[in-house]
Amino acid sequence: MRKIDTACIIDDDSIYVFGMTKIMELTGFCNKTLVFRNGREALNELIAIIENNQELPDVILLDLNMPVLDGWQFLEEFMKVVYQKKIVIYIVSSSVDSEDVLRAKSYENVRDYIVKPVTVEKIKEILYDFENAS
């Protein structure tokens, strides 16, 4: 079974991050998890990872509403970065606004829009999609 090596959570809600890391552990979702509290922190660290030829995450779980640099701003900036690896991004938000869902679909790297709270079943679906991709 193919497993996600590195997953990245970009979210400023520490309770959500705690819960997601526990769900990821319980489901055997990934080997390693990177956590960033806002889009700017994530962007800076991911660029440093690229520059140092380190392994980028396979999957990013991205919140939209964050301080400093929100999820949309992160996406806009990250799409300008040149990197070789295919990274699958899932928008994970409490917003149920249909315009947010449509906007998310306009990004090539965004696979799905997930409304919080994220369930164990949804994490298993993401893992299944990852295992059966390519």
CATH of the domain at 58: 3.40.50.2300
Tokens linked to 2: 């193919």
Full domain range(s) for residue 14: 4-121
Is 131 part of a structural domain of the chain? no
Quote the pLDDT of residue 7: 97
Percentage of the chain lying above the pLDDT 90 cut: 87
Is 20 part of a structural domain of the chain? yes
What residues contact 87, with CB distance under 8 A and at least 6 apart?
56, 57, 58, 59, 60, 109
Helices (DSSP H) in the chain: which residue ranges? 14-27, 39-51, 71-78, 98-105, 120-132
Tokens linked to 34: 């990177």
Q: How confident is the model at residue 35 (pLDDT cuts 50, 70, 90)?
A: very high
Is 14 part of a structural domain of the chain? yes
- Please say whether the dihedral angle defined by the alpha carbons of residues 75, 77, 83 and 84, taken in this order, is positive or negative: positive
Number of domains the chain is built from: 1
Is 134 part of a structural domain of the chain? no
Q: How confident is the model at residue 133 (pLDDT cuts 50, 70, 90)?
A: confident
Predicted structure pTM score = 0.94
57-116 per-position pLDDT tens digit: 999 999 999 999 999 999 999 999 988 889 999 999 999 999 999 999 999 999 999 999
Is 132 part of a structural domain of the chain? no
